A and B are shown apart, each in its own frame.
Chain A
């Protein structure tokens, strides 16, 4: 098969179609918003019909849900988790705490703007967002994947120094591996 432009397109289409129907979410709840995940997954809203389901380890997961405020301590672990995930990988920022600090905007140990530390593909606002909003967020992510626009991981790879600099401002004693994927 020759890789001309058209076959690339077809290949991408199939790849994105497959990806968008199997969004596996890492079960890692960070803030209070994690409490909205069980109703989203269980029978009433049943996210699994959209291909959204939980994954046990970062290596198996496609989506990292940041469900709310991130303390500076958790941020370190989340970065580590994100870097362990394999491509394709996406980040959903969940709740107003990840967008502008939410009600913890003046807290001394929670970060305020998540996308300075990790590349966020979709934000879901609300404090906390209801399962409908969560599903809308997933639908948006699926749409972005289908269009090939959910390229946060690419952005992270290309701008790694910038992200690292921001991350190290929060944790000056960086003890994690410089990079691995």
Chain B
């Protein structure tokens, strides 16, 4: 498998000089960090020449602190049995991405969802504007800076009576003598 991977890195790097490879030894997985403009060409190349014919997923990470979205195209070769993660970054303000639904048609669904949930525009994406949300009036709801509670309080009626709902975590932790991890403390009310 290491040989296959080395071969793959060599192939990709010969065509795409600025693709940075990251290897995970002992895992059938290989990451490439590329520029967003290269995405269609690198995916086409992987599909047509290297046998990575299956798009298994497109994932997205919202790096709010860095002001960027990270899109991860996960493709799979049934022959080599290696997963390839093609990663790219795009700015959070007015993000525009190249469209890849002519390479894999199922990408269309992912792209519509990203457009609706994260506000990412895809160049030349042909699809109705609405996907899952109907009559949506707010900002894209899956962005990390979208405050769902505030939005819900503004949009929907509120019935008073839950203000005194206490945080029972302290009590539970005291009884079971657990430690709260640091990252969880900031979510305590």
Contacts and interface: CB of A to CB of B under 8 A. Distances in A.
Interface of A: 72-73, 76, 99-101, 105-113, 116, 166, 169-173
B158 interface: yes
A112 B135 contact: no
A170 to B, nearest CB: 7
B152 interface: yes
Interface string B140-157: 010000101101100111
Query: Which interface residue of B134, B135, B156, B158 has the most chain A CB atoms within 10 A?
Result: B156
Contacts of A113: 156-159
Interface string B155-166: 111110110000
Contacts of A169: 155
A106 B152 contact: yes
Given A111-B156, A112-B159, A170-B135, 11 more contacts: A100-B162, A106-B148, A108-B138, A108-B146, A108-B151, A111-B157, A112-B156, A169-B155, A170-B155, A170-B156, A171-B134
A75 to B, nearest CB: 10
B148 A99 contact: no
B8 to A, nearest CB: 42
Interface of B: 133-135, 137-138, 141, 146, 148-149, 151-152, 155-159, 161-162
Contact of B162 (A76, A105, A171): A105
Contacts of B162: 100, 105
A69 to B, nearest CB: 11
Interface centre among A105, A113, A171 (most CB of B within 10 A): A105
Contacts of B152: 101, 105-108, 112
A73 B159 contact: no
B141 A108 contact: yes
Contacts of B157: 111-113, 116, 166
A100 B161 contact: yes
B148 A107 contact: yes
Contacts of A111: 156-157
Contact of B134 (A72, A99, A100, A108): A72
Contacts of B155: 108, 169-170
Contacts of A110: 156
A4 to B, nearest CB: 44
16 contacts: A73-B134, A99-B159, A106-B148, A107-B152, A108-B138, A108-B141, A108-B155, A109-B141, A110-B156, A113-B159, A116-B157, A166-B157, A169-B155, A170-B135, A170-B156, A173-B135
A116 B159 CA distance: 10
Contacts of B148: 106-108
Nearest to A113: B157
Nearest to B160: A100
Contact of A171 (B135, B138, B159): B135
A107 B133 CA distance: 13
Contacts of B146: 108
A163 B53 CA distance: 53
Contacts of A76: 134
Given A99-B159, A100-B162, A113-B158, A106 B149 contact: yes
B65 to A, nearest CB: 23
